[in-house]
Structure 1
């Protein structure tokens, strides 16, 4: 999200979100001016709760015909720090074929949330241009648009 206070100054803010398979936003947090994905994540309440006791993540479950529980993980891009409950792609610098396949399949899983962002932007065209409002107003617009996006699905 880009906002302009005047004609020469631009501010950016990052929207971090979880979505389900139906493109609904389950959690959203908007970072402060100029913070990236990782910085926004480190400051959000859900990150702290998950770090402490995995709050917010579903309980581990067994797959059909299996007695080993499968842990739930968050799928993230490479801007995030690696955690035991977070999956992210390997570094692009030195991937062997197995790592390249893992990163490719992980990127397909991440497409769900990327598509949710795309639907949000298509539905409310204001996200495809620079907003002329104050950064706090832009955050409220974004939060409201995410709620309306969920209601419209």
Structure 2
């Protein structure tokens, strides 16, 4: 079901079982995979995990103090019964939103799945609240390499902010491509995501979480499929639509954010690739 995207009806005919049984099996298996394997292949992030992720971002993408890249993806769903506009997005279709923090190896460090009405604004997410209140085990501030500039560890957003210099945006886009490629790999592997998921929103949430854990398991067990990654990077079309995550309702930057942004921009200018 997940890998082929076959309908309940097609699976029912193939295995000579009722569609309600298909629904029950899918719900039970997806729930079990998430409940039993998420703690192994998508564990609660620790400070050491973030430090390892930061090391890989520096080694692979020359991005210091980056623990992950955050982005969102619309997951198409069939119009839920009696939902009104709750799941209807501004792009003109029904969806749930997968928000994800990806490491430099295209694995998901943390995810959150929600409806369009509460998933499109980053400041409404649990990820944002944990980063804001200091409960996400982020490492302490440290100096940027080869400098005495003390900066926090960052989760770089997908958006390229207009007031940053070109060199900053170019370096920032590397983190953006990592999480976009993670979504591309996810959708390429699990074809169910290439069409609307025809089930209830609650089960759709479980299915998406299950696929994200399976995504990590495949990478953990088999490594990265470099050919698939190359094909994804070369494709001009998006794998579904990514959701531009607004970091906060108030768009005015704090003094600390501006200072940090300037420090990174200056570092990138002084340390070109």
TM-score under structure 2 length normalisation: 0.44
Residues 44 and 36 of structure 1, relative CA distance in 2, 3 Å threshold: closer
Cα distance in 2 between the residues matched to 1:5 and 1:63: 48
Is residue 118–residue 124 contact of structure 2 (8 Å, CA) maintained in 1? no
1:18 counterpart (77, 85, 101): 101
Residues 56 and 46 of structure 1, relative CA distance in 2, 3 Å threshold: farther
Q: Post-superposition, which runs of at least 4 consecutive aligned residues in structure 1 deviate over 6 A? A: none
Deviation at 1:148, TM superposition (A): 0.7
Which moved further from structure 2: 42-51 or 129-138? 42-51
Cα distance in 1 between the residues matched to 2:145 and 2:78: 52
Partner of 1:114: 180
Deviation at 1:118, TM superposition (A): 0.7
Partner of 2:76: 2
The structure with more helix, counted as a fraction of residues: 2
Deviation at 1:14, TM superposition (A): 1.1
Residues 109 and 143 of structure 1, relative CA distance in 2, 3 Å threshold: same
Partner of 2:137: 56
Which moved further from structure 2: 15-24 or 25-34? 25-34
Partner of 1:42: 123
Q: Let me know the Cα RMSD of the aligned residues.
A: 2.4
1:29 aligns with 2:29: no
Mapping of residues 117-132 of structure 1, within 5 Å: 117-132=183-198
Is residue 120–residue 145 contact of structure 1 (8 Å, CA) maintained in 2? yes
Alignment partner of 2:77: what SS? Answer: strand
Alignment partner of 2:165: what SS? Answer: helix
1:103 aligns with 2:169: yes
Residues 54 and 67 of structure 1, relative CA distance in 2, 3 Å threshold: farther
Aligned residues: 134
1:90 aligns with 2:161: yes
Cα distance in 2 between the residues matched to 1:126 and 1:116: 16
Is residue 119–residue 125 contact of structure 2 (8 Å, CA) maintained in 1? no
Cα distance in 2 between the residues matched to 1:46 and 1:33: 16
Query: CA offsets per residue over residues 37-82 of structure 1, 9 Å max, x none?
Result: 3x2x32322311211226332333345555544421111133xxxx
Cα distance in 1 between the residues matched to 2:118 and 2:129: 17
1:74 counterpart (155, 175, 188): 155
Deviation at 1:106, TM superposition (A): 1.0
